[in-house]
Structure 1
Amino acid sequence: MNLLCPLLLPMWQCFLSLLSLVNLARTTPVSTVSSFSSQMEAVSPGMAVIKVVHHQDLNKRILVTLIVASTLLCGVLLFLLYFWICRHKIMKNSNGEAKRNLEPTKTISLSPIADQFNSLPMACKKGSVAVIEYRLLEAATNNFRESNVLGEGGRGRVYKACFDGKFLAVVKKLDGGGHNVEREFENEVDWLIKIQHQNIVSLLGYCIHGESKLLVYEMMQNGSLESQLHGLTRGSALTWQLRMKIAIDVARALEYLHEHCNPPVIHRDIKSSNILLDSDFNAKLSDFGLAVVTGSQNKNVKLSGTLGYVAPEYLLEGKLTDKSDVYAFGIVLLELLVRKKPLEQMSPSRCQSLVTWVIFFQPKIYL
């Protein structure tokens, strides 16, 4: 509309000038009967000729002028309105196109390490993820040497890998066969190919070698949130500002999964060991082997998760919704706050949950 103002101002000035001319014409004195009579007496004495000038012709001309001017003004205004509407639509479409064009760029910028990895002459491509030869992973992990082990989970070990002598990554090796391992491996690959977000770990490649299945991720230099909170340092590196930042990062990842994915995704295994931290303590959610879409929870989906993080309605009734992830996120927040594990062994036959400890014992929390 700002573009229309410089155009409309001269038009209104012209229209007002036209109206002033019309008013001037209407107020111009017209020769009266007496003046004409005196003039005619001077020309022809003894015979008075009266010439009457009517205003009807002048009024007609003024009316026609006003109609034409108004029509032109309305036409110009309609044209400018049409021009503004078209321009607004074009700008809206161009903004939408720009956003769509920006999304791939944003995805790439979120994980520049993936571009660097894919540029290495080591693997073929399947979709947007590299399919890596097993011998390359052996070389990168020093034949899966113990000194390269970063951690160990229920399905296998995690190794530090160095490609091309300088590029660091993480290799997760899932040993053994079985339907569950196969399904979780395929689920992990499928989801991480589709999902790309700054707070979700990037899958760089994978490999299938006999019964072993290997996943290659970006390097997360500060390990998992679990190792930071419950490891040797006991959370000493995590200031309260960093803990707040980690919580916000995980919340953004969950918001993306629950609100922006189509269909929405339920992670089903939110816990501190699946929250990884990079060199700047940016948190990224990992391990999508158990993830499902909303609506599939009642279709052959077994009860899964980690005790201490599983929501009561899911554990007792099998009712799975996105609120199950939110409950587990609440447990992670308690971990960040009080530095206690979700389940602690009180005796050989007795465990105490973090939720019970908070609700019933109401401890004094030392900051």
Structure 2
Amino acid sequence: MKCKITGKAVHPFMSFGKMPIANGFLNKDKFNNEFFYEMEVGFSEDLSLFQLNEHPKPKMMFNKNYPFFTGSSQQMKLHFKEYAEWIKKYSKNKIKNIIEIGSNDGTFLKNFDPKDFNVLGFEPSKNVSDKAIKNGINTVNEFFNKNTIINEKKFINNTDIICAANVICHVPDLNNLIQSVDSMLNSNGFFIFEEPYLGSMFEKVSYDQIYDEHIFIFSATSVSKIFSLFNMELIDALPQITHGGSMRYIIARKGKYKVSSNVLKILGNEKLKNLDNISSCEKFKKNCEFSKKKTRESLEEFKTNNCKIAGYAATSKSTTILNYCKINNKIIDYICDTTPEKIGKFSPGTHIPIVDMNYFQKFLPDVAYLFAWNHKDEILKKEKNYKGKWFSHVAL
């Protein structure tokens, strides 16, 4: 295994076994030809970087049938509105040109009035980029890289802010991406992105953060080390509650701005928790194995007691849980979801039927496995009349 940034050897410390594409919900006639890869993880000591070894090619994951639309979640719509307002305040409204990497259906960019801002989204999944374009958001249906930015001359060396949310961890060639960011930003520009946070994942043992799209799980330490290779630096870091625990990173050219005390505080805390070295990974491995054992035992006990078990929300994360813990349709009867692109299909790898949310309301299960545990508050409020047991491998 080699580090995807430095090319140096990385020792893999854990495998979650054979995994399908996390968002690869499929019909029965595709079962026999389903794609699998070995989901092995390693840790680069040089960069303190947690990363996947093998992963599917990006176009296998981000294409014309991508099944997630940001605007489908009220929680995420609110978060992106707050994120946009924070950016305006942080930059003291001295910005004009904004690029979003992985702009999905334009939910974030629509918070910037076109009378005041020039926005540009890069979104490789055609179905969601089409929706953004239909909604009037300036969007390029491409990955963000050296080859695709050359046509956007208005933004080259003239972009005030490049931002992203839960996207940078998807990009296997970070060297290319960061060099592209460097080409687009003006001398005073900021690169601001949010990602699932390694510290939160280790603390919660939320190993379902690891799947094909999440090639990297960042810490402030790893982000600081990575960008120092490109004459940039981490000038601020702000914890977020999204995705079960994320971090917002603010990057600028080295020496351009004062580094916030937040950065020094977070880096110090990460060192205390060994997030800068592989010992924390070894502890995480043991915790994952224990969690898997307890999850299996709990579900099997429910079945022994003749409980009907359903999954709530056919998330990308659920693919890791189901396949790692070897949970199939003999244990979970169905998974309910609101996404039309998933309903009527089957879960990747384990082939549990995906049904409309109305099915959950009509045939209430004894136990509901909350796969979207990071949206717990929103879901429990919505399902306040459900009297069964909510279950998760993560403490609810």
Structure 1 or 2: more strand by fraction: 2
Report TM bin, short chain: under 0.3
Rg larger in structure: 1
TM-score, normalised relative to structure 1? 0.21
| Larger relative contact order (CA 8 Å, sep ≥ 6) | 2
Structure 1 or 2: more helix by fraction: 1
